[in-house]
Amino acid sequence: MRIADAQWIPSTQHQTWDALTDPRVLQKCIPGCVEVAMRSATEYAITLRAKIAGIDTDYEGEILMSDVNAPDSCTLVFEGKGRAACLAIGTAQINLSTKDQGTRVAYTVAGMAGGKLAECGEGLLLKAGEKIIEKFFAAFIDHMAAQPRIAPPPPPPEPEPRGLSNSRWSWALVVLVIAVFWGYHSFYK
């Protein structure tokens, strides 16, 4: 199963990134989400209650972030296991960019199912996956539209340049040393 699309989010890129990595926002916006717990800066545990292809069950899973380039992109690897011998695994490539006073979130999701879910067929799973993503983005866009816009954080300060070219006293010291050597060699030699 493969799903690729993009959504426009009515908030700045850094706010969108922060919200997409906030477990409270994810729990609020993911359809059927019971809990999202952040285990580390790049690892989340998730519990979902979903009905897919007539199979209503709880799924326990993990989401791992890699290739993180905040606030521009990341890769997600996910795995979920259901009580009814169901399995879902996959990856998602997420790219954020500033567009029209908001943020464009482009994504490509590739997933596979095992157990009873796999018996439903790829077409049905594709429709279910698209519906879950559609519901997530509808809730996420509503959430972000209700948030006040915050200006992006200032870029980190430039490091102070070092070396002789940046200090007039350094150059004065060099001229003084040259004058002393020149004077010593001129008058005493």
Continuous segment of H or E residues that includes residue 38: strand 33-40
pLDDT level of residue 143 (50, 70, 90 thresholds) = very high
Per the model's pLDDT, the better-predicted residue between 100 and 84 turns out to be 100
Q: What is d(CA 32, CA 132) in angstroms, rounded to the nearest whole number? A: 9
Asked if 145 and 121 touch (Cβ cutoff 8 Å), the reply is no
Mean pLDDT, rounded, for 143-163: 81
pLDDT tens sequence across 11-43: 999 999 999 999 999 999 999 999 999 999 999
Instruction: Supply the CATH classification number for the domain 2-146.
Output: 3.30.530.20
Does residue 110 or residue 118 have the better pLDDT? 110
pLDDT, tens only, 115-138: 887 788 888 888 888 999 999 999
Dihedral Cα 3, 64, 104, 152, nearest 10 deg: 180
Region 60-88: mean pLDDT is 91
pLDDT at 189: 57
Q: Which run of H or of E encompasses 18?
A: helix 13-20
Q: Strand 86-99 and strand 33-40: pairing?
A: unpaired
Residue 66's pLDDT is: 96
- Confidence grade of residue 161 (pLDDT, cut at 50, 70, 90): low
Q: Which of 90, 87, 61 is nearest to 76 (CA)?
A: 90
Q: Is the pLDDT of residue 153 over 80?
A: no
Instruction: Report the C-alpha gap between 136 and 29 in whole angstroms.
Output: 5
pLDDT at 79: 94
Q: What pTM was estimated for this model as a whole?
A: 0.78
Asked which of 47-51, 85-89, 153-157, 174-178 is least confident by mean pLDDT, the reply is: 174-178
d(CA 5, CA 65): 20
What proportion of the chain, given as a percentage, has pLDDT over 90? 57
pLDDT at 137: 97
State the sign of the Cα–Cα–Cα–Cα dihedral 10, 14, 18, 21. positive
Predicted local distance difference test score (pLDDT) of residue 8: 97
* Domain spans in the chain, listed from the N-terminal domain onward: 2-146
Q: Are the CB atoms for 26 and 35 separated by under 8 Å?
A: no
Q: In whole angstroms, what is the distance from residue 65 CA to residue 151 CA?
A: 25
Question: Where is pLDDT greater, at 93 or 170?
Answer: 93
Burial of 126 (0-12, 13-18, 19+ CB in 10 A): middle
Distance of alpha carbon 43 from alpha carbon 47, whole angstroms: 14
Strand boundaries in 53-173, DSSP class E: 55-69, 73-82, 86-99, 102-115
